[in-house]
Every structure is written in structure tokens, then in C-alpha cells.
């Protein structure tokens, strides 16, 4: 009898006072196309939470890339522009210049940001555009089927370096954020990950800071998220996280690279 009194029914569970977690309203209630174990979904959620917590939904313009996140605009209920491959920082530059009161961010992968869009990225950062750049670095081209990215590690196998990245043939993994931190226009450059609950909390703080910098016209902020691509890496989600910790983190150490207060 006593036990029955404390047992919660479904009705009880969904009572607002019993709420322990809620998906941000900005997240659309649609299935994502991302693979199991992919970091994109978590980062999308963090971006959505930050926009919601800042109360900026009606003032935010997101710039979507070409790559796995090309459909980011399906998942976050904000206004978007879908850029050509690599051009997101150019679009963001114009949006922010023409509408300085808006929160403007790009969401780009490593191929988009550090290969085809290097010029746009470097020059937007060098001009100190007050935009936030969310940079997903998983060392591979996911959408096109696992080809070599500029950030692919030495020796790492991909569809276009099936015997492992040979630096004599393909050059070195490009530590683009290390370059960006040297530019006087950048305000905040950080490298985060979302593979543990603690890491997710830190990454969210970083995104919040980047977005606040955009609104306070403080110059360019870049939040690199060292990420997994379980499918591209041909690992299961758990293995992918382990592989990332073991191989990606030494090449791309986490932490703030630059934080001008």
C-alpha cells in the first residue's frame, strides 16, 4: 500500500514540476539524418540551447555549410542561409555588416572551413567580423563518403588516402585554429569536444561566449569542436570516441587558444 503511493504514473512524470530535462524549443521535432555516434546532433542542440537561453531566436541568422551539416536548417527553428561550399564566412560577413544587431554564426566542417573555404575563413577572421564560427573537426569528409580532409591525421586511412595520409603526398594535418589565433581580428579561439557530459557543458559555455562576442561586436570567435565520424572512421560509436581521445586529441589538444578579455 505504501509502495503504491510513491509509484509515479506517466501522468505524474510529465508534470512540469518533475521535469529534469527538456529539448530546446528551437530544436525541430524531426529525425536527424546524422549517423549514430556523430557529434553534430549534440552540437546542434548546444547551439539551439544557447540561442534560446539568450532569447535571440528572432535576431539570429545561421549560415549552413556544405557537408554533413548542410541540412542544419532542418533541425534548428531559426532563419538560415545555405552557403556554397566554404563560403559561409563571406555570407556571414555581409549579413553582420548589413545587420549589425543580429547574432550571426556559421556552422562549418573541416573541409568546408579549412580546405575550400580557407580564404574566406582567414579573411573574415582577419577583418575581425563579429561573427561566431562553429567548426566541426572530425578529420574526414563525411557527406561525400569519407574522403581525406585537410585535418585528416598523418597515417589515417580515408577513401582518398586508402593507405593512410602520407604527408609527402598530401601535406600535414592543418591546424587551422592555430593559424586563426594569430590574426588580430580574432577575439576568442577555443578547441572543445562533446564526448562526455563534462565536455558538453564546457562546449556549451564556449558557444555562449562566442555568441555573446558576436552581439557585443568584439570580433571573430571560433569554437572548434573536435568530433567523431564513426561512419567515416569505420568504427562503432564507442570505439570512435576512444579513437578520438587517443588520436585526435594529441593532434588537436583541447582548451582555449586565445581569449582576449
Partner 1 sequence: MFTFPLVYSFTYYSFTKIKKIMNEEIKLMKGNEAIAHAAIRCGCDGYFGYPITPQSEVLETLALEKPWETTGMVVLQAESEVAAINMVYGGAGTGKKVMTSSSSPGISLKQEGISYLAGSELPSLIVNIVRGGPGLGTIQPSQADYFQTVKGGGHGDYRLIALAPASVQEMADFVGLGFDLAFKYNNPVMILSDGIIGQMMEKVVLPPFRPRMTEEEITEKCPWAAVGKPAGRKRNVITSLELDASLMEQNNHRFQKKYRLIEENEVRYEEIECEDAEYLLIAFGSSARICQKSVEIARSHGIKLGLLRPITLWPFPSKIINRYADKVKAMLSVELNAGQMVEDVRLAVNGKVKVEHYGRLGGIVFTPDEIVGAVEKMRNEE
Closer by beta carbon to partner 1, 57 or else 147: 57
Closer by beta carbon to partner 1, 57 or else 178: 57
Residue 153: what are its φ and ψ, rounded to 5°?
Answer: -75, 155
203 binds partner 1 (CB under 8 A): no
Distance CA 96, CA 203 (A): 24
Closer by beta carbon to partner 1, 131 or else 156: 131
> Considering only residues 155-184, where is the footprint of partner 1 by CB under 8 A?
none
Which string of b and e fits 27-40 if b means at least 16 CB within 10 Å?
A: beeeeeebbebbbb
Residue matched to cell numbers 564513426: 230
Nearest approach, Cβ of 126 to partner 1 (angstroms)? 8
30 binds partner 1 (CB under 8 A): no
229 binds partner 1 (CB under 8 A): no
**Binding segment for partner 1 among 114-122, 135-143, 171-179, 210-218 (CB under 8 A)?**
114-122
238 binds partner 1 (CB under 8 A): no
DSSP H or E segment with residue 108: strand 103-109
DSSP string covering 151-209, please? TPPBT--BTTBTT-B-HHHH-----HHHHHHTSTTEEEEEEEE-SSHHHHHHHHHHHHH
52 binds partner 1 (CB under 8 A): no
Distance CA 63, CA 176 (A): 20
Binding-site ranges for partner 1 (CB under 8 A)? 56-61, 63-64, 70, 73, 77-84, 87, 90-95, 97-99, 102-103, 119-120, 122-123
Amino acid at each position: 500500500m505504501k509502495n503504491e503511493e510513491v509509484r509515479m504514473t506517466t501522468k505524474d512524470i510529465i508534470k512540469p514540476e518533475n521535469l529534469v530535462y527538456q529539448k530546446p524549443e528551437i530544436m525541430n521535432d524531426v529525425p536527424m539524418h546524422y549517423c549514430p555516434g556523430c557529434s553534430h546532433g549534440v552540437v546542434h542542440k548546444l547551439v539551439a540551447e544557447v540561442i534560446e537561453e539568450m532569447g535571440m531566436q528572432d535576431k539570429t541568422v545561421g549560415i549552413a555549410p556544405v557537408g554533413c551539416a548542410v541540412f542544419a536548417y532542418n533541425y534548428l527553428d531559426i532563419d538560415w542561409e545555405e552557403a556554397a561550399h566554404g563560403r559561409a564566412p563571406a555570407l556571414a560577413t555581409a549579413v553582420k555588416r548589413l545587420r549589425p544587431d543580429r547574432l550571426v554564426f556559421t556552422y562549418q566542417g573541416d573541409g568546408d572551413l579549412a580546405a575550400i573555404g580557407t580564404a574566406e575563413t582567414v579573411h573574415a577572421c582577419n577583418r575581425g567580423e563579429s561573427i561566431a564560427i562553429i567548426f566541426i573537426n572530425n578529420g574526414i569528409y563525411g557527406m561525400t563518403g569519407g574522403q581525406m580532409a585537410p585535418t585528416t591525421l598523418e597515417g589515417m586511412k580515408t577513401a582518398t588516402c586508402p593507405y593512410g595520409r602520407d604527408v609527402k603526398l598530401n601535406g600535414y594535418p592543418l591546424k587551422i585554429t592555430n593559424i586563426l589565433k594569430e590574426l588580430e581580428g580574432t577575439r576568442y579561439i577555443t578547441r572543445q569536444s562533446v564526448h562526455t557530459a563534462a565536455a558538453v557543458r564546457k562546449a556549451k559555455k564556449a558557444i555562449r561566449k562566442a555568441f555573446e562576442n558576436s552581439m557585443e561586436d568584439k570580433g571573430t570567435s571560433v569554437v572548434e569542436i573536435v568530433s567523431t565520424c564513426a561512419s567515416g572512421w569505420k568504427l562503432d560509436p564507442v570505439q570512435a570516441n576512444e579513437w578520438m581521445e587517443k588520436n585526435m586529441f594529441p593532434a588537436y589538444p583541447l582548451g582555449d587558444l586565445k581569449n582576449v578579455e
